[in-house]
Amino acid sequence: MEKQDIQSMLPQEIEAVLLDVGEKPFRAKQIFQWLNRGVTDFNEMTNLSHVLREQLKERFHLTAPQLLEKQVSTDGTIKYLWAMADGEAVETVVMAYHHGNTVCISAQVGCRMGCGFCASAIGGLKRNLAPSELLAQVLFSQMESGRPISNIVLMGIGEPLDNLESVLRFLELVNHPDGMHIGMRHITISTCGLPEAIDKLASYHLQLTLSVSLHAPDDETRDRLMPANRGMGIDRLMAACRRYQDETGRRVSFEYAMIHGVNDTVQQAEHLARRMLDVGGHVNLIPLNTVAERDLGSSTKDAIKKFEQILRRRGVNVTLRRQLGGDIDASCGQLRRKQERARERRGYHDQLRTDGQGHCAKRQSGLLPD
């Protein structure tokens, strides 16, 4: 029998397994609580009998992400590169705000959305993350940093709505009163804007914040920047946002990365203002983070200020995103890319050294155990 992922399970599901082996159902809550304290060895679950611990070991595996790299910014932002059980790496960032610590987690290993300005898209999608791997990023970043996490944003690597099933389960896990118990109102999901998935999410009536990465008010520019827009169009996306707001009663917010000479003209500001007034949305302007592989730069300070003023004058709710972690590899996907580039370089040299025995290169790159 293949071992199951107990760290992705809710107490009622653990309970069903316990009943199956003739155990008392209330043990499920104890096990769930241990898991949500980051225990990764059944032997540490000291209030369970030895027999039960052995039965659990037979049925389930327990894993903890391994810390590959940690960068600490002078402003206190911490960026982690965590390796999952199969060696795939994802980034997690802990940021300190006046309202508490926010963790930014990755939804997938890589991404298949192909946005032209984003480091995460390079190399495409490797795989989805399991609910337990989403939870582990929150839990282990909290434990490693010693900072209690009060807010979560799904704004790291990957597209959360392209891994909706795992994300929905993760929300149940992290929101559970016997788990980390983080309220839905403290959770934000960022999406490149997939209308069908937005409709599906709306049907759950969750009180979280949905943030749509818009980055352009016109299809010509958005098609160019974000392949997910092609053949779909902004009108359809906006209609889905409106339905989402009607269904959930929660305002959608919009992200707009300011890219020099691409989406920062006066006309685009006016166009964006019309779109925002139409949907009643709030806009976050973000200076583009330069990515080594991308030939795009941030708009100038003056252009951003002008853009912001136009929106404000038109009555749009707009904020300029405070940049944290500017001195570390802050933009999502950058740290993982750096590690992959290092891997590629090491792999190449190892390959030379081992005279074509490629399998050694992989092991020597540090991602596979000796």
Stretch touching ligand SAH by CB under 6 A, among 58-66, 198-206, 285-293, 350-358: 285-293
Stretch touching ligand SAH by CB under 6 A, among 56-64, 260-268, 281-289, 351-359: 281-289
CA distances from 153 to 149, 211, 231, 268, 296 (A): 11, 10, 28, 28, 25
Residue 332 as a binder of ligand SAH (CB under 6 A): the answer is yes
Which one of 213, 221, 253, 268 is in contact with ligand SAH (CB under 6 A)? 213
List of residues 6+ apart from 267 with CB closer than 8 A: none
CA distances from 340 to 88, 105, 120, 333, 346 (A): 10, 19, 11, 10, 10
Closest CA to 106 of 86, 87, 83: 83
Residue 130: count other Cβ atoms within 10 Å of its Cβ: 19
Residue 289 as a binder of ligand SAH (CB under 6 A): the answer is yes
Q: Catalytic: which of 115, 118, 192, 332?
A: 332
Nearer to ligand SAH, 23 or 255 (CB): 255
Strand partners, 212: 191, 254
Q: What is the DSSP string of 5-34?
A: EGGG--HHHHHHHHHHTT--TTHHHHHHHH
Q: How far apart are CA 214 and CA 204, in angstroms?
A: 23
Q: How far is the CB of 246 from ligand SAH (least distance, A)?
A: 22
Q: Catalytic: which of 23, 91, 133, 159?
A: 91
Q: How far apart are CA 343 and CA 258, in angstroms?
A: 32
Q: How far is the CB of 257 from ligand SAH (least distance, A)?
A: 4
Which one of 55, 137, 191, 248 is in contact with ligand SAH (CB under 6 A)? 191
Binding-site size for ligand SAH (CB under 6 A) equals 18
Residue 291 as a binder of ligand SAH (CB under 6 A): the answer is yes
- Which amino acid is located at 90 in the chain? V
Residue 190 as a binder of ligand SAH (CB under 6 A): the answer is yes
Beta strands in 73-156 (DSSP E): 78-83, 89-97, 100-104, 108-110, 125-128, 149-154
Site string for ligand SAH, 125-154 (x = CB under 6 A): ------------------------------
Residue 253 as a binder of ligand SAH (CB under 6 A): the answer is no
Residue 201 as a binder of ligand SAH (CB under 6 A): the answer is no
List of residues 6+ apart from 285 with CB closer than 8 A: 256, 258, 304, 307, 308, 318, 319, 320, 321
Stretch touching ligand SAH by CB under 6 A, among 14-22, 126-134, 188-196, 306-314: 188-196
Is 23 a residue of the active site?
no
Is 332 a residue of the active site?
yes
Stretch touching ligand SAH by CB under 6 A, among 21-29, 91-99, 169-177, 282-290: 282-290
Binding site for ligand SAH (CB under 6 A): 113, 115, 117-118, 155, 159, 190-192, 213, 255, 257, 286, 288-289, 291, 331-332
Active-site residue list: 91, 332
